[in-house]
Structure 1
Amino acid sequence: MSWRMPAETAPHERTWMAFPREGITLGAEASEREEGYAAWTAVAHAVAEFEPVTMVVDPTELGRARRMLGSHVDIVEAPLDEFWMRDFGPTFVLDDERPGVLGAVDWVFNGWGAPEWAEWKVSAEIARFAAAHVGAELVSSVLVNEGGGIHVDGEGTVLLTETVQLDPRRNPYADRARIEAEMARTIGATKAIWLPRGLTRDYDDFGTNGHVDIVATITSPGRVLLHHQADPAHPDFEVTRALRAQLEGETDAAGRALEVVDLPAPATLRDEEGFVDWSYVNHLVVNDGVVACGFGEPEADERAATILADAYPGRRVVTVDARPIFARGGGIHCITQQQPALPNEETER
């Protein structure tokens, strides 16, 4: 077997999501909960403009999900506690030696390092559930990892973060060599580019400790979009400067020097919790489109949409207000997980 995670820009069969349910992430007040339901629904409807969406729904939320999602989204029922599908769901892979075979990597999920507040043991079973639902071969891993902790170019390159995969709360006995060997076995990565850290807010109690999918993404082989904080008053000003300097000196699996393109942050620096991690990098590429994060700043949102349209030629950019999602700890990429399309005979020829 030769498993390979395709680039997000490769054709999709569908996108997977998980519908919110009551708990610490959704919010204590009725207004907070309604805001969360509405934000997840808006993303699902935006994705459904381009490709099928399958939504995993906890039994307690079936009525609400059917009412809000309507006929645009396929609903499957399974128990949930958390609803960040990117992180606990499967990482879908293809086998280049068997073109009709879909695989699903089942990482170990421990709630981003098993913090005291996290509820995760139920959703940790969803990768196996989703794999069985679509008939994918299960690729079991003993590595604690989340889908938001990796980005690939589909040609052997993977972006990782030292504070995620080497986090002692996740993988206390791992080193770089072991992580890289497991990335090669499960997703076909032959070259790992290790970022030293992620964005500042991501190290708060409710953060992921440095997920790459809010910092940088590979838009095409040899080209990286990097979050750019231009205001020296924000601690990510220094963080993103250092990351740019590092990435400019890196090469990918094919030996190409990386072209680094800045994706500027919105102007807002703080919310009631402190410095924000609002990032346009946390978008989802879909068939013929891009579902982008919006932050209620027309000029900045439009600038980001223009950069994304240039990064993904021929795709239509749709912007969805991501502030309610970021207030709960992530963004649009964090709540979605693409399932790649299997190559057909025409592709093979």
Structure 2
Amino acid sequence: MNTNKYHSFRLPAEWEPQSSVMLIWPHEDTDWRPYLKEITEVYLQMADAITRHEALLITARNTELVRSLLAERLAEGQMKRVTLFACDSNDTWARDVAPISLVSDKEPKGSFQPLHLLDFCFNGWGEKFAAEKDNRINRQLYEAGLFQGVLENHKDFVLEGGSIESDGDRTLFTTTGCLMAPHRNQPLTKEDIDKRLHLLFPNVERVVWLDYGQLAGDDTDGHIDTIVRITPNDTLLYIGCDDKEDEHYEDFRLLEEQLKQLRTLDNKPYRLLRLPMPDAIYDDDERLPATHANFLIINGAVLVPTYNQPEKDKAALDTIQEAFPDREIIAIDSRTIIRQHGSIHCLTMQLA
């Protein structure tokens, strides 16, 4: 591990300006195989929405196939924003595979690049799934010159992008359930991990550990991007549950209470905006972790997962619009994505 503390670098908020979004394209040897056509259509919709606002970096096993699919869907100007790179993968969860960007607020001098990309170990959410090909993607992209910054090796530490949320200032949010889950970073204690996060992200003065809000069917052990998201003006968007018969009710009641007790570093309560809990969606007898909180913020827009539940989808879209009044809110039907226990934010990673 490189332990230099880069005092001029910070972990930005997701709503800050981005250079691009990264996708890992699905192929026949991923778990998407039974519904590859359906998930490919979702990817094309995401690519269309993203390239209307910013650049898109795609790794794919078959770049020519992907190029032809995109050319049929995207306008010429949008295609110019797409970069394709041939690369194999175990799966497609870019949020937890792609590097995490640190930015500098200082002007570049000489050959100095005001960007660090932190390359962590992804081990299939605690050794649940194979990840050896996924772990090689970032180095291959860097060596091909496709990252505008320095790639910093942190493969000795397991940290998934979906497990942390930054306000871009001094506070980092995470969940105890995920970062303390088995087969991640044992024998490190909570205090050890907290110290490591402060070292990795120099602007962070405190780490907020949330103790509740585990979605049924969640392979990640409780990624924060499925339950609570930080948005501008000290606003937290979070999932609430009103149905006392729902298995989530008590856990998400406790999450809401914890959020109400939180204060900013300026000792002010957070503005809380509540998202509805989607009606239960099952694959055979297994409940899937459907959530509207797993949205992607891009330049000028927000891509929001929907589940063909008109009333709850509309409530979620309206609430997210309230948090982002100046951005276009784009609904993406995520019923296919959720079959593999994730959603839009999980499949994507913004690069600063």
- In structure 2, which of residues 310, 316, 339 is the aligned counterpart of residue 298 of structure 1? 310
Q: Is the 8 A contact 1:198 1:209 kept in 2?
A: no
| Equivalent residue number for residue 214 of structure 2 | 199
Find the aligned partners of 1:129 and 1:184 in 2 and give their Cα distance.
28
Per-residue CA deviation, residues 58-98 of structure 1 (Å, 9 max, x unaligned), is: 2xx32331122225332112221211100011011113356
Equivalent residues in 2 for 1:319-334, closer than 5 Å: 319-334=331-346
Amino acid at match of 1:8: E
Q: Is the 8 A contact 1:101 1:136 kept in 2?
A: yes
| Equivalent residue number for residue 315 of structure 1 | 327
1:243 and 2:255 are equivalent in the alignment:
yes
CA deviation after TM superposition for structure 1 residue 216, in Å: 0.4
Q: How many residues are aligned here?
A: 330
| Equivalent residue number for residue 345 of structure 1 | none
Per-residue CA deviation, residues 306-326 of structure 1 (Å, 9 max, x unaligned), is: 111110120010101011111
| Equivalent residue number for residue 135 of structure 1 | 148
Find the aligned partners of 1:262 and 1:68 in 2 and give their Cα distance.
38
Amino acid at match of 2:59: V
The SS at the match of 2:321 is helix
| Equivalent residue number for residue 277 of structure 1 | 289
Find the aligned partners of 2:264 and 2:126 in 1 and give their Cα distance.
29
Q: Is the 8 A contact 2:288 2:339 kept in 1?
A: no
In structure 2, stretches of 5+ residues that fail to align are 1-5
Taking a change above 3 Å as real, the CA distance of residues 140 and 185 of structure 1, as seen in their structure-2 partners, is farther
Find the aligned partners of 1:237 and 1:47 in 2 and give their Cα distance.
35
CA deviation after TM superposition for structure 1 residue 279, in Å: 0.8
Taking a change above 3 Å as real, the CA distance of residues 337 and 185 of structure 1, as seen in their structure-2 partners, is same
| Equivalent residue number for residue 230 of structure 2 | 218
Per-residue CA deviation, residues 241-261 of structure 1 (Å, 9 max, x unaligned), is: 110101111223444322221
Per-residue CA deviation, residues 268-316 of structure 1 (Å, 9 max, x unaligned), is: 4544243332111000111111111111122222221111111012001
In structure 1, stretches of 5+ residues that fail to align are 341-349
Find the aligned partners of 1:97 and 1:269 in 2 and give their Cα distance.
47
Find the aligned partners of 1:221 and 1:253 in 2 and give their Cα distance.
13
Q: Is the 8 A contact 1:113 1:170 kept in 2?
A: yes
| Equivalent residue number for residue 104 of structure 2 | 95
Per-residue CA deviation, residues 162-182 of structure 1 (Å, 9 max, x unaligned), is: 121122310112122222222
The SS at the match of 1:248 is helix
CA deviation after TM superposition for structure 1 residue 217, in Å: 0.4
CA deviation after TM superposition for structure 1 residue 56, in Å: 0.9
Equivalent residues in 2 for 1:40-51, closer than 5 Å: 40-51=43-54
The SS at the match of 1:174 is coil
277-286 vs 258-267, which moves further: 258-267
| Equivalent residue number for residue 192 of structure 2 | 178
Taking a change above 3 Å as real, the CA distance of residues 251 and 140 of structure 1, as seen in their structure-2 partners, is farther
Q: Is the 8 A contact 2:63 2:85 kept in 1?
A: no
Find the aligned partners of 1:26 and 1:17 in 2 and give their Cα distance.
15
Q: Is the 8 A contact 1:244 1:260 kept in 2?
A: no
Amino acid at match of 1:262: R
| Equivalent residue number for residue 154 of structure 1 | 168
The SS at the match of 2:32 is coil
The SS at the match of 2:336 is helix
The SS at the match of 1:113 is helix
Find the aligned partners of 1:317 and 1:269 in 2 and give their Cα distance.
23
Find the aligned partners of 2:281 and 2:99 in 1 and give their Cα distance.
34
Q: Is the 8 A contact 1:251 1:257 kept in 2?
A: yes
Identity %: 25
User: TM-score with structure 1 length normalisation?
Assistant: 0.89
- In structure 1, which of residues 26, 34, 37 is the aligned counterpart of residue 37 of structure 2? 34
Amino acid at match of 1:191: R
The SS at the match of 1:39 is helix
CA deviation after TM superposition for structure 1 residue 221, in Å: 4.3
Taking a change above 3 Å as real, the CA distance of residues 272 and 233 of structure 1, as seen in their structure-2 partners, is farther
Per-residue CA deviation, residues 148-194 of structure 1 (Å, 9 max, x unaligned), is: 11111001211111121122310112122222222222233221111
Find the aligned partners of 1:260 and 1:52 in 2 and give their Cα distance.
32
Q: CA RMSD in A?
A: 1.9
1:82 and 2:91 are equivalent in the alignment:
yes
Find the aligned partners of 1:37 and 1:147 in 2 and give their Cα distance.
23
| Equivalent residue number for residue 62 of structure 1 | 63
The SS at the match of 1:327 is helix
- In structure 2, which of residues 23, 29, 33 is the aligned counterpart of residue 23 of structure 1? 29
CA deviation after TM superposition for structure 1 residue 130, in Å: 3.7
CA deviation after TM superposition for structure 1 residue 26, in Å: 1.0
| Equivalent residue number for residue 125 of structure 1 | 136
Taking a change above 3 Å as real, the CA distance of residues 33 and 308 of structure 1, as seen in their structure-2 partners, is same
- In structure 2, which of residues 17, 20, 45 is the aligned counterpart of residue 14 of structure 1? 20
Find the aligned partners of 1:24 and 1:140 in 2 and give their Cα distance.
26
